[in-house]
Amino acid sequence: MTTNKRTASSLMNDDIEAKKLKTEIDSTSSISTTSKESIPSFVDDNVTAKKICEYGEACYRQKNPKHTAEYDHPSTSASASTKDVSKRLTSIEKIEQSEPYRFFLSTVYGIQDNDNRINAISLKEILSAEHGQLIRSAQFNYMFDIEFLLEQYPSEFRLKPLLIVHGDSRDDNHSIKTQCSPYPQIELCPARLDIPFGTHHTKMMFLLYETGLRIVIHTANLIPQDWKQKTQGIWISPICSKTSDNRESKTNFKKDLLDYIERYRARQLQFWQKTINEHDFSSINVHLISSTPGRHTGPDINKFGHLKLRQTLKNYLNLENDEQYYSAPIIGQFSSIGSLGPNANSWLTKEFLTSLKQLNTTSLDSPELQLIYPTVENVRTSFEGYMAGGSLPYDMQTAMKQAWLVNYLHRWKADHRQRSRASPHIKTYLRVANDQYKNLLWFLVTSANLSKAAWGGLEKNNTQLMIRSYEIGVLFIPKQFSKTMFPLFDASSFPIPYDLPPVKYQSTG
What does the DSSP assignment read for 54-75? Answer: TTGGG-TTTT-HHHHHHEE---
Q: Please state the φ and ψ torsions of residue 46, each to the nearest 5 degrees.
A: -85, -5
pLDDT at 27: 36
pLDDT at 366: 83
pLDDT at 492: 81
Nearest to 419 by CA among 395, 383, 449, 454: 383
Q: Please state the φ and ψ torsions of residue 44, each to the nearest 5 degrees.
A: -75, 125
Q: What is the DSSP letter of 147?
A: H
Q: Please state the φ and ψ torsions of residue 111, each to the nearest 5 degrees.
A: -110, 175
Q: Where are the beta strands (DSSP E) in 319-368?
A: 330-333
Nearest to 309 by CA among 466, 213, 430, 141: 430
pLDDT at 74: 56
What percentage of the chain carries pLDDT values higher than 70?
A: 81
Instruction: Assess whether pLDDT exceeds 80 at residue 350.
Output: yes
Of 56-65, 213-222, 391-400, minimum mean pLDDT range: 56-65
pTM score: 0.84
Catalytic residues: 201, 425
Assess contact for 331 and 502: CB atoms under 8 A: yes
Residues pairing with 162 in the sheet: 137, 186
Tens digit of pLDDT for each residue in 70-83?
766 655 443 333 34
Mean pLDDT, the chain, rounded, equals 87
Domains and CATH numbers, the chain: 2-87 (no CATH), 288-487 (3.30.870.10)
Tens digit of pLDDT for each residue in 22-62?
333 333 333 333 333 332 322 233 334 556 666 665 565 66
Task: State how far Cα 152 lies from the chain centre.
Answer: 17
pLDDT at 59: 65
Element (H, E) at 151: helix 146-152
pLDDT at 44: 31
pLDDT at 318: 79
Instruction: Assess whether pLDDT exceeds 80 at residue 91.
Output: yes
Among positive and negative, which fits the CA dihedral 354, 357, 359, 365?
negative
Q: What is the DSSP letter of 349?
A: I
Question: 134-140 and 204-209: which strand pairing?
Answer: antiparallel
Q: Please state the φ and ψ torsions of residue 240, each to the nearest 5 degrees.
A: -85, 125
Give the CA angle between residues 406, 411, 416 to the nearest 5°: 160
What percentage of the chain carries pLDDT values higher than 90?
A: 74
- Which one-letter amino acid corresponds to residue 261? I
If DSSP codes are grouped into helix, strand and coil, which group holds residue 281? coil
Residue 355: pLDDT band by 50, 70, 90 thresholds? Answer: very high
pLDDT at 174: 74
Q: What is the DSSP letter of 381?
A: T
The count of residues in the chain is 509
CA–CA gap between residue 161 and residue 140 (Å, rounded)? 14
Instruction: Assess whether pLDDT exceeds 60 at residue 285.
Output: yes
Nearest to 43 by CA among 52, 53, 34: 52
Of 8-17, 163-172, 202-211, 400-409, minimum mean pLDDT range: 8-17
Mean pLDDT of 337-360: 94
Q: Which of left, alpha, beta for 180 (phi over 0: left; psi -120 to 50: alpha)?
A: alpha
Contacts of 429 (CB under 8 A, 6+ apart): 309, 330, 331, 332, 333, 356, 443, 444, 446
CA–CA gap between residue 493 and residue 500 (Å, rounded)? 14
Q: Beta-carbon neighbour count of residue 4 at 10 Å?
A: 8
pLDDT at 63: 57
CA–CA gap between residue 23 and residue 495 (Å, rounded)? 41
If DSSP codes are grouped into helix, strand and coil, which group holds residue 208? strand
Of 39-53, 223-237, 259-273, 468-482, minimum mean pLDDT range: 39-53
Residue 170: pLDDT band by 50, 70, 90 thresholds? Answer: confident
Assess contact for 332 and 429: CB atoms under 8 A: yes
Among positive and negative, which fits the CA dihedral 393, 399, 402, 407?
positive
Of 13-22, 84-93, 405-414, minimum mean pLDDT range: 13-22
Question: 233-236 and 287-291: which strand pairing?
Answer: unpaired
Assess contact for 446 and 428: CB atoms under 8 A: yes
Residue 21: pLDDT band by 50, 70, 90 thresholds? Answer: very low
pLDDT at 163: 99
Instruction: Assess whether pLDDT exceeds 70 at residue 509.
Output: no
Question: 120-121 and 134-140: which strand pairing?
Answer: unpaired
Assess contact for 492 and 223: CB atoms under 8 A: no
pLDDT at 452: 98
pLDDT at 33: 32
Nearest to 114 by CA among 142, 80, 140, 137: 80
CA–CA gap between residue 329 and residue 437 (Å, rounded)? 9
Mean pLDDT of 294-310: 97
Residue 506: exposure state from Cβ atoms within 10 A (0-12, 13-18, ≥19): exposed
| Cis amide prior to 497 (ω within 30 degrees) | no
Q: Please state the φ and ψ torsions of residue 311, each to the nearest 5 degrees.
A: -65, -40
Q: Please state the φ and ψ torsions of residue 116, each to the nearest 5 degrees.
A: -105, 0
pLDDT at 321: 76
Assess contact for 292 and 453: CB atoms under 8 A: no
